[in-house]
């Protein structure tokens, strides 16, 4: 291995460490606790080293969001592929999405609430974000109904899931009714 390859590998490892540490800190204490100073202390590198990877907290949030989008897409696909039939796939997708949001609140915030400097629904949208939407679209297109554009249906379904995730987490919806909400969503929106 050349010196250049070793340096690139070390740089990539440092970057993964920064993102993992930011994510861990955000999940434990919230995004307000994530500062470049605290990250530098936790990873045992100087702040200039941290800034050589990310220009600031906004880019770190974006990196966590991209990682989360990749994980969400994989989880949605796995749940949907294990389900029998279109209706069960939609139900599995909805439950998986809501479970992901509940288990990873800081990642969910990085994806959908905070400014990570990422473009959504645009030409320059990063691949992991496009793929997360594609994972939803792959499983919702067949239940959109006649004359309904699958991407538009997916946006509406996603918005309903996002609303449930956000309102439940904020204590605005009783968590004990979560399963009933999913069933209502599937029954009313998914045409099979």
pLDDT digits (tens, 9 = 90+) for 68-78: 999 999 999 99
Convert the pLDDT of each residue in 107-164 to its tens digit: 999 999 999 999 998 999 999 999 999 999 999 988 998 999 999 999 999 999 999 9
Question: Where do we find the tokens 């605005």?
Answer: 172
Convert the pLDDT of each residue in 36-66 to its tens digit: 999 999 999 999 999 999 999 999 999 999 9
Q: How far apart are the first and last CA of the chain?
A: 56
Is the model's pTM score more than 0.85?
yes
Instruction: For residues 175 and 169, give the distance between their C-alpha atoms in angstroms, rounded to a whole number.
Output: 8
Confidence of residue 174 (pLDDT cuts 50, 70, 90): very high
The torsion of the CA quartet 178, 181, 183, 188, rounded to 10 degrees, works out to: -170
């Amino acid at each position: 291995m050349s010196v250049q390859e070793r340096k690139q590998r070390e740089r990539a490892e440092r970057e993964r460490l920064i993102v993992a540490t930011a994510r861990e800190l955000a999940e434990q204490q919230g995004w307000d606790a994530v500062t470049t100073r605290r990250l530098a202390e936790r990873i045992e590198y100087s702040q200039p080293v941290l800034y050589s990877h990310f220009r600031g907290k906004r880019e770190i949030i974006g990196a966590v969001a991209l990682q989360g989008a990749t994980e969400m897409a994989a989880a949605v696909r796995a749940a949907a592929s294990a389900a029998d039939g279109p209706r069960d796939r939609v139900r599995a997708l909805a439950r998986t999405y809501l479970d992901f949001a509940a288990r990873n609140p800081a990642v969910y915030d990085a994806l959908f609430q905070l400014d990570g400097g990422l473009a959504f629904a645009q030409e320059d949208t990063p691949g992991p974000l496009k793929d997360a939407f594609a994972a939803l679209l792959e499983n919702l297109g067949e239940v959109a109904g006649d004359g309904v554009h699958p991407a538009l249906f997916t946006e509406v379904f996603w918005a309903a899931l996002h609303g449930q995730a956000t309102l439940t987490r904020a204590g605005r919806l009783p968590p004990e009714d979560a399963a009933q909400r999913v069933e209502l969503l599937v029954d009313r929106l998914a045409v099979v």
